[in-house]
């Protein structure tokens, strides 16, 4: 849910986002993508740990 914040920010403050596009907007999107990737990878990691130890 928190990873949707950058897109809400861009939609609500589009002019402000254009001013700071290279500084803030892309950095927050990168963090959001990292969160989504880690959330998607979590079941795989848990499955592998269970197979290894259990």
User: 4-26: buried (b, 16+ CB within 10 Å) or exposed (e) per residue?
Assistant: eebeebbeeeeeebeeeeeeebe
What is the CA 53 to chain-centroid distance, rounded?
A: 30
Whole-number Å distance between alpha carbons of 30 and 25: 9
Quick: pLDDT tens for 1-47.
667 777 777 777 766 656 666 666 677 778 888 888 999 999 999 99
Q: Does the predicted model carry a pTM greater than 0.85?
A: no
């Amino acid at each position: 849910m928190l990873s949707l914040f950058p897109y809400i920010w861009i939609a609500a403050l589009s002019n402000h986002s254009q001013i700071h596009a290279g500084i803030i907007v892309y950095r927050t999107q990168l963090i959001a993508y990292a969160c989504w990737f880690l959330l998607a990878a979590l079941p795989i990691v848990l499955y592998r740990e269970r197979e290894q130890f259990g």
